[in-house]
């Protein structure tokens, strides 16, 4: 029956796994959240234990169900959203990982990516992506080359690859379903986003055996059913979306030209471009979702290090918390010429320089930790504008507003400065759980729990930031930022894969 029961959304992020239980009004009734440990075996390398990912997600789901005090049989359906590009390989027979997960931030494949540069035009034309260590294909090749005998086993179909959604679906279904949705597949650098299939030439280029790949499926539709021993009932899995595409849907950016920015470990700006993929030189063309038998496309600007830069402030002892960073920044009347480029793992869109490194410019004897804190927060807004401007220029759309979500939206200084430096309004929704909400919406659309008209009505505005800064000041600040970016580029070509 449409609208009956509840929807469970699994939201597996870079630093934690969450689960939310929602009702017909998209109200969060309960939730669970558990941290996921990150490992840094060498500079520039980032790993996670796949069993830690699975365990955290399972505990989160069980807690959400338990805290809601419902019978699991009352859950109408469930959806999954996940950190994208993170690469997991496991033994098909035992479901045991054969290597730690290589996280999307990891730069160990820099040399492999350099070898792909001559094929950049073909890769861009088929996948919408630029060769970069960010994506899954080079990560798969690295693991297959690094573990003795693994490539031969993968060629025989004994070892499987999946992005995090594939891994979770495999575990949830007791190893019965090996699939990936179009949005996650489009982040591998192996998937033809127009033909909606793995591309044989790209597989050969990156030496990835097709036998190990999951089946591409739409983002909304029946994928499988959970093993009843895990959550107390056999629950249908009817959606699977990469986290940024899920947030685009959760922000109800259903019309071409609608755009959102999610501020997390990195920041990700997506704009709905409709039924046709938009060609872009500096941004990524990606699949937003596959619903009702067709794909919707988006332009994306992926910024690697924003929330992680604020974490660095704490790790370096400059601030004790993000709240202190906000207070220090707001206590200054300006940045006094201090700029920080947070290229801690290289630069993503629209610069695409994996050799860029973090840079602080404009230091004087009077510079203090408040200036560093402010420069870090301002950098998040400047990087967003870098993408925003490229998005408008290459799409032909003039964006009226930017819908925002993620942890940094709690920072009033940053949100106001974001509006000021864009010269556009910045809109916060009432329900800020947009990533999980997008997974829930896609699951609900697949089961007639909600219609598109329903989910439009469920999105409501909480606050709007309007630009206050004069254009002359805005452009002067941004010009200086552009100079700072140039100073950070091509800084360190020390191989990270050694």
Q: Provide mean pLDDT across the span 357-382.
A: 96
Residue pLDDT, tens place only, 67-126:
999 999 999 999 999 999 999 999 999 999 999 999 988 889 988 999 999 999 999 999
pLDDT greater than 60 at residue 2: no
Using CA atoms, how far apart are residues 214 and 162, in angstroms rounded to an integer? 7
Q: Which residues contact 229 (CB under 8 A, 6 or more apart)?
A: none
pLDDT greater than 90 at residue 132: no
Task: Calculate the average pLDDT of the chain.
Answer: 93
Question: Percent of the chain scored above 70 by pLDDT?
Answer: 98
- In this structure, are residues 191 and 185 in contact, taking their beta carbons and an 8 Å threshold? yes
pLDDT confidence bin for 495, thresholds 50/70/90: very low
Residue pLDDT, tens place only, 372-398:
999 999 999 999 999 999 999 988 888
Residue pLDDT, tens place only, 38-74:
999 998 899 999 999 999 999 999 999 999 999 999 9
> Which pLDDT score, from 0 to 100, does residue 494 have?
59
Using CA atoms, how far apart are residues 405 and 490, in angstroms rounded to an integer? 31
CB atoms closer than 10 angstroms to residue 118: 9
> Which pLDDT score, from 0 to 100, does residue 1 have?
38
> Which pLDDT score, from 0 to 100, does residue 399 have?
87
| Phi-psi domain of 201 (left: phi exceeds 0; alpha: psi -120 through 50; beta: other) | alpha
- Of 422, 311, 301, nearest in space to 377 by CA: 311
Q: Which residues contact 349 (CB under 8 A, 6 or more apart)?
A: 282, 283, 284, 300, 301, 302, 303, 386, 387, 390
> Which pLDDT score, from 0 to 100, does residue 364 have?
96
**Concatenated DSSP letters for 273-337?**
EETSPPP-SSSEEEEEEEETTEEEEEEEEEES-SHHHHHHHHHTTS-SSHHHHHHHHHTSSS-TT
CB atoms closer than 10 angstroms to residue 66: 13
Rg (CA), the chain: 22
3-state secondary structure of 260: strand
- Of 213, 145, 161, nearest in space to 497 by CA: 145
Question: Percent of the chain scored above 90 by pLDDT?
Answer: 83
Residue pLDDT, tens place only, 204-253:
999 999 999 999 999 999 999 999 999 999 999 999 999 999 999 999 99
| Phi-psi domain of 479 (left: phi exceeds 0; alpha: psi -120 through 50; beta: other) | alpha
> Which pLDDT score, from 0 to 100, does residue 269 have?
94
| Whole-structure pTM value | 0.86
pLDDT greater than 60 at residue 305: yes
3-state secondary structure of 144: helix
- In this structure, are residues 277 and 298 in contact, taking their beta carbons and an 8 Å threshold? no
> Which pLDDT score, from 0 to 100, does residue 4 have?
62
**Concatenated DSSP letters for 389-427?**
HHHHHHH-----EEEEEEGGGG-HHHHHHHHHHHTSEEE
Written as six digits, the tokens of 458 are 């469920």
């Amino acid at each position: 029956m449409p609208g009956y029961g509840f929807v469970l959304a699994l939201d597996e992020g870079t630093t934690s796994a969450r689960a939310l239980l929602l009702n017909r009004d998209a109200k969060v009734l309960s939730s669970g959240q558990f941290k996921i440990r990150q490992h840094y075996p060498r500079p520039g390398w980032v790993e996670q234990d796949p069993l830690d990912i699975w365990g955290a997600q399972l505990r989160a789901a069980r807690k959400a169900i338990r805290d809601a005090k419902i019978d699991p049989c009352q859950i109408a359906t469930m959806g999954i959203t996940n950190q994208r590009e993170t690469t997991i390989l496991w033994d098909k027979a035992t479901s045991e990982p054969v290597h730690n997960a290589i996280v999307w931030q990891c730069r160990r494949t820099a040399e492999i990516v350099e070898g792909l540069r001559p094929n950049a035009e073909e890769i861009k034309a088929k996948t919408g992506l630029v060769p970069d260590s960010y994506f899954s294909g080079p990560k798969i090749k690295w693991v297959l080359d690094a573990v003795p005998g693994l490539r031969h086993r993968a060629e025989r179909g004994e070892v499987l690859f999946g992005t995090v959604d594939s891994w979770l679906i495999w575990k949830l279904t007791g190893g019965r379903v090996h699939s990936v949705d179009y949005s996650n597949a489009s982040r591998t650098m192996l998937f033809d986003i127009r033909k909606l299939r793995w591309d044989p030439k790209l597989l050969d280029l990156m030496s990835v055996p097709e036998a190990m790949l999951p089946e591409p499926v739409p983002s909304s539709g029946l994928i499988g059913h959970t093993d009843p021993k895990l959550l107390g009932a056999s629950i249908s899995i009817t959606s699977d979306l990469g986290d940024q595409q899920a947030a685009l849907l959760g922000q109800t950016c259903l019309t071409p030209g609608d755009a959102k920015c999610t501020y997390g470990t990195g920041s990700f700006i997506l704009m709905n471009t409709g039924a046709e993929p938009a060609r872009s030189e500096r941004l990524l063309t990606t699949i937003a979702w596959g619903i009702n038998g067709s794909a919707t496309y988006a332009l994306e600007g992926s910024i690697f290090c924003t929330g992680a830069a604020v974490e660095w402030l704490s790790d370096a002892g400059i601030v004790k918390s993000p709240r202190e960073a906000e207070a220090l920044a707001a206590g200054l009347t300006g940045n006094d010429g201090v700029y920080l480029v947070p290229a801690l793992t290289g630069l993503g869109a629209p610069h695409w320089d994996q050799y860029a490194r973090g840079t602080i410019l404009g230091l004087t004897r009077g510079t203090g930790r408040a200036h560093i804190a402010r420069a870090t927060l301002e950098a998040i807004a400047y990087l967003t504008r870098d993408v925003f401007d490229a998005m408008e220029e290459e799409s032909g759309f003039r964006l009226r507003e930017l819908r925002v979500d993620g942890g940094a939206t709690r920072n009033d200084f940053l949100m106001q400065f974001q509006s000021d430096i864009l010269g556009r309004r910045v809109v916060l929704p009432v329900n800020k759980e947009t990533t999980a909400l997008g997974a829930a919406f896609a699951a609900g659309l697949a089961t007639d729990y909600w219609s598109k008209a329903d989910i439009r009505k469920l999105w409501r505005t909480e606050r709007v930031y309007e630009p206050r800064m004069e254009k002359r000041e805005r452009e002067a600040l941004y010009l200086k930022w552009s100079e700072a970016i140039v100073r950070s580029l091509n800084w360190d070509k020390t191989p990270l894969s050694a």
